[in-house]
């Protein structure tokens, strides 16, 4: 039986290298990670095959969330694939794959999160990622033409 997955396609008004940097540079990850306006408490990333990331964030309801994973594929400015797990539920490991494609006005980001434990987990992550991507859009707009 195939496990549930979700795919989200976003168009961002920045070149692929900026969007890729937002996914791989801890100081940028800390500015958009999480589903709502709650703070990111820490962000770490070592974006190389076998490297790991970890982000701890708090949602507005005061709950702390701690996620981590290992990079499986890293093609700068083109593709990221990494495992995803919550520290409290390591047995529910899933997989995230993101491609970044240059388009006329920026980047098309094709995001797939697969191998969810069940449909409820997929639906919760769908809402969470959509909230995070709203913040990613705002970060990209804020960065504008600045050098990274």
CATH number of the CATH domain containing 17: 3.30.530.20
Is 78 part of a structural domain of the chain?
Answer: yes
Is the confidence at residue 77, as pLDDT, over 80?
Answer: yes
Is 148 part of a structural domain of the chain?
Answer: no
Is 134 part of a structural domain of the chain?
Answer: yes
Q: What is the rounded CA–CA span in Å between residue 26 and residue 50?
A: 17
Is 1 part of a structural domain of the chain?
Answer: no
Q: What is the rounded CA–CA span in Å between residue 73 and residue 70?
A: 9
Q: What is the rounded CA–CA span in Å between residue 85 and residue 115?
A: 11
Domain around 63: 6-143
Interval 53-67 mean pLDDT: 97
User: pTM for the full model?
Assistant: 0.95
Is the confidence at residue 145, as pLDDT, over 90?
Answer: no
Residue 140's pLDDT is: 94
Residue 21's pLDDT is: 97
Q: And the tokens for 7? A: 């795919």
Interval 22-34 mean pLDDT: 97
Rounded to 5 degrees, φ, ψ at 5 are -145, 170
The kind and range of the H/E element at 137 are helix 119-143
Q: How many domains does the chain have?
A: 1
What value, to the nearest 5°, has the Cα angle with vertex 88 and ends 112 and 52?
55
Average pLDDT, the chain: 96
Is 115 part of a structural domain of the chain?
Answer: yes
Is 46 part of a structural domain of the chain?
Answer: yes
Is the confidence at residue 146, as pLDDT, over 80?
Answer: no
């Amino acid at each position: 039986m195939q496990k549930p997955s979700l795919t989200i396609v976003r168009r961002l008004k920045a070149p692929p290298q900026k969007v890729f940097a937002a996914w791989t540079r801890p100081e940028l990850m800390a500015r958009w990670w999480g589903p709502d306006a709650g703070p990111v408490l820490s962000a770490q990333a070592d974006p190389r095959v076998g490297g790991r990331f970890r982000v701890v964030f708090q949602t507005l309801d005061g709950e702390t969330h701690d996620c981590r994973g290992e990079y499986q594929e890293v093609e700068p400015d083109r593709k990221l694939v990494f495992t995803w797990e919550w520290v409290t539920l390591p047995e529910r490991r899933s997989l995230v794959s993101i491609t970044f494609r240059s388009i006329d006005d920026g980047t098309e980001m094709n995001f797939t999160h697969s191998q969810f434990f069940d449909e409820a987990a997929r639906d919760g992550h769908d809402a969470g990622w959509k909230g995070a991507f709203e913040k990613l859009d705002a970060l990209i707009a804020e960065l504008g033409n600045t050098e990274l």
